[in-house]
Amino acid sequence: MIKDITIGQYFPGSSLVHRLDPRMKLGLTVMYIVMLFIAKGFLGLGVGIVFLTAAFLSSGIQLSLMTKSVKPIVPVILFTGVLNLFFVSTGEVLVSWGFIRITEDGLRTMIFMAVRIIFLICGTSLLTYTTSPIALTDAIERVLSPLRIIRFPAHEIAMIMTIALRFIPILIEETDKITSAQKARGADLESGSVLQRAKALVPILIPLFVSAFRRAEDLALAMECRCYHGGDGRTRMKQLKVGFIDWLALAVTSLFLAGVILLNIFLPL
Amino acid sequence: MDNMDKSFIEVENVSFSYYSDEDGESKQNKVLKNVSLSIKKGEFTAILGHNGSGKSTLAKLLNAINLPDEGKVYIDGMDTADESRLFDIRKTVGMVFQNPDNQIIAAVVEEDVAFALENIGVEPSEIRRRVDEALKAVGMYEYREHAPHKLSGGQKQRVAIAGVLAMKPECIVLDEPTAMLDPIGRREIMKTIKELNSLGVTIVLITHYMDEAAQAKRVVVIDNGEIVLDDTPKGVFSQAKKIKDMGLDVPQVTELTHALYDCGVGLDLDIITEDECYNALFELLK
C-alpha cells in the first residue's frame, strides 16, 4: 500500500525533453515560470501555453498524468478563484445580489489566475516527470555550486537529497514491517477517533526513529571508510555536457519569452 | 611478488576499551587485551569469535575508525594514529560491513561504486573505468543502472564490495558480511571473496560461521579480547574441544569425523571440507 508512493514521479523515456541536460531543463523551467508570471494578458499567457504544449507533446508523457498532477491543487484554484471573484470590484457589474457584486474584471482575474496556476503546475510536473531525481539533484548541486563563495552549502544539500532518495524506499519498507509487527502484537491502527488513531501511531514511529538513527550511524561510518570528507576536492563520475539540443531549446524558450515581453508592451490584452 | 613475506598489517600489543556512562559512573569495558597480530600481503585470514569477543573492534582498528588505547597498528608501514595518512590508510584497507543497506549511499548502483573515487578526487574518465572494472569483478556489471533497494541481499553486498574495490585497496576487511544474508547470498559473497583473494587482494574476514572460516588460509580465533588460536583451518578445527569450550561451533564435517574417531574409526582429524570427508569415507568403506 505505502509502497505505491513513487517519489519524484519520474517516467523514464528517451524523448528530446528527457535528453536535455538537467541543468538546462531547470533553467528553462524557471524561464517558463517567468513567462507565466510576467504575462499581462491572455495572449501572453497563450504564448506560455503553446510553449508548454509543444514541450509536452515532444516528451511523450501521457495527458492523464498531467491531469493527475493538477487534481490535488483544484481546491487551491477554487479558493483563489472565489476570492478574486468577490473581491475585485472594478469594471462593469455583472451580478449584484445583496452585498455581493461580481464584476467583469473579477471574472476575468479569476479565469486568468486559474489558468496561470494550472499551467504552472503542469510545467513543473513536466520537469519532474522527465528528469530522474538523481539527475535533478545533480543539477541542483551544480547550479548552486557558485554560491559556495558565500558559504552556501550546495554540496551538502545535494548529499542530503541523495541520501534521502536512497533511504525513502528502505524506510517505507521498514514502516510496513513495523506496522505488521505491531498489529501482530494487537495494536489497533484502524478504529477509533482521529486522535486515537494518531496516538496508535506512536508505537510505529518510535521504532522507526530508533532504526533510522542506527542506520544513520552505520551510513556515516561507511561513508567515512570510503574517504568522504565533504565537497572539497570532490570530482564526479558523470560529467554533464550542454550540447546542441540544449542550446536549441534555450534559443526556442528565449524566443517565446521575448514574445511574451513584446506582447506585454504592444498588445497587453 | 617478492614482498610476499613482508608483513602488511602489523598489530602490536594493542589494547582497546569502550567507555560507557552508567548512573553517572564511568565504566570501562576492555574488549581487546594486548593483542598482537601480523598479516602478510595476499593472505586470506578469517577472524573467528562469538559475539562480544572483540573481533569487530579489531577490524575497526585496521583502518583507523578506532585508534588503540595502547599499542600500535601499522598498515603497510603507516601508523593508523598518524592523521595525515588517514586517507592513504583508508584507501589501502577497505571496509565492508554487515548490513548492505546501510553502506550504500547512492540511489543508483554505479553512482554508489563511484562514491569513494569521487571523494578522493579521481578524474571522471578514470572513475568510469574503475567503476566498470569493480562491478565486473563482483559480477554486478549488468545491474549498474539499477536501484539498490530492488536487489537481493547478496547482490547489495556485492555492490558494497565493489564500492570498496573501486578504490583499489590492497586489503579488504569484511565485518560479518554474510550475517544478514540467505544461504544463496552467503555463497555468492564467499565466491566473490575467494576470487578477489586469488587476484592478490589481502582478505580479513570477520565471521562466526565456521564453514566460512574453513575456506580461509589462516584462522585466528579470538575470545574475550585475546587471540587464543592462530593456525591453518585444519590446525584450528582439529582442536574441536577447545573451540567448543569457547562457545563456538566446529564445521559439521569436523563434528562427524571427531565422533567417528571417538568410536574408533580410523579417520584423519584434520578433515574440514565436505569433499575431503566424502573422499575419506569413500576410501574407508570401499
pLDDT in tens, A222-232: 999 999 988 88
Query: Do B119 and A224 lie within an 8 Å CB cutoff?
Result: no
In terms of DSSP H, where are the helices of chain A?
Answer: 16-19, 22-38, 42-59, 63-70, 74-87, 104-130, 133-144, 154-184, 194-200, 202-225, 244-266
Query: Of B87, B123, B149, which has the smallest distance from its Cβ to A169's Cβ?
Result: B149
**What is the bridge-based pairing of β-strands A100-103 and B44-48?**
unpaired
CB pairs under 8 A between A and B: 96
A243 or A188, greater pLDDT: A243
CA angle B233, B36, A224 (to 5 degrees): 95
Mean pLDDT for all residues in chain A: 87
Report CB contact under 8 Å: B121, A162: no
Backbone torsions φ then ψ of B265, nearest 5 degrees: -85, 130
Residue with cell 608501514: B77
Short-list B88, B95, B91, CA closest to B61 = B95
> At A89, is the secondary structure helix, strand, or coil?
coil
Of B107, B122, B164, the CB nearest to A166: B107
Decide if A102 contacts A93 (C-beta within 8 A): yes
Q: Which among B27, B9, B8 is positioned nearest to B17, based on CA atoms?
A: B27
Q: What is the DSSP letter of A90?
A: -
Report the residue of A161, A174, A225 to disrupt the B interface, i.e. the one with the largest count of B CBs within 10 Å. Answer: A225
Q: pLDDT value at position A5?
A: 45
User: pLDDT digit string (tens) for B163-200?
Assistant: 999 999 999 999 999 998 999 999 999 999 999 999 99
At residue B160, the pLDDT reads: 95
Q: How far is the C-alpha of B116 from the C-alpha of B159, rounded, in Å?
A: 13
Q: What tens digit of pLDDT does each residue of B22-59 get? A: 777 778 888 899 999 999 999 999 999 888 888 889 99
Contact across the interface for B149 and A215, Cβ inside 8 Å: no
Q: Which residues contact A146 (CB under 8 A, 6 or more apart)?
A: none
Question: What would the pLDDT profile of A64-100 be if each residue is shown by its tens digit?
Answer: 888 888 888 889 899 988 888 888 878 788 888 877 7
**All domains of chain B in start order, with CATH:** 7-233 (3.40.50.300)
CA dihedral B223, B12, B215, B53 (to 10 degrees): 20
What percent of chain A is predicted at pLDDT more than 90?
40
Cβ-defined contact of B90 to A225 (cutoff 8 Å): yes
Residue B78 in 3-state DSSP?
A: strand
- Dihedral sign (CA B45, B49, B51, B57): negative
pLDDT confidence band for B6 (50 / 70 / 90): low
Would you say B178 and B207 are in contact if contact means Cβ atoms under 8 Å apart?
Answer: yes
- Residue A222 to residue B127, Cβ atoms within 8 A: no
At residue A61, the pLDDT reads 86
Which cell numbers in the block locate residue A135?
A: 539527475
Q: Which residues of B touch A228 (CB under 8 A)?
A: 115, 119
* pLDDT tens figures, B233-284: 888 888 878 888 888 877 788 888 888 888 887 777 777 777 888 888 888 8
Q: Please indicate whether, in this complex, the C-beta atoms of B121 and A237 are within 8 angstroms of each other.
A: no
> Cβ contact (<8 Å) for A237 and B91?
no
Give chain B's mean pLDDT.
88
Angle, in degrees to the nearest 10, between helices A63-70 and A104-130? 120
b/e per residue, B209-245, with b = 16+ CB within 10 A?
bbbbbbbbebbbbbbebebbbbeebbebbbbbeebee
Give the nearest partner residue to B107 out of A162, A233, A234, using CB atoms: A162
Which residues in chain B touch residue A170, judged by CB atoms under 8 angstroms apart?
A: 101, 149
User: CA B238, CA B222: separation in Å to the nearest integer?
Assistant: 17
Cβ–Cβ < 8 Å for B65, B56: no
- Tell me the domain boundaries of chain A: 2-145+240-266, 154-225
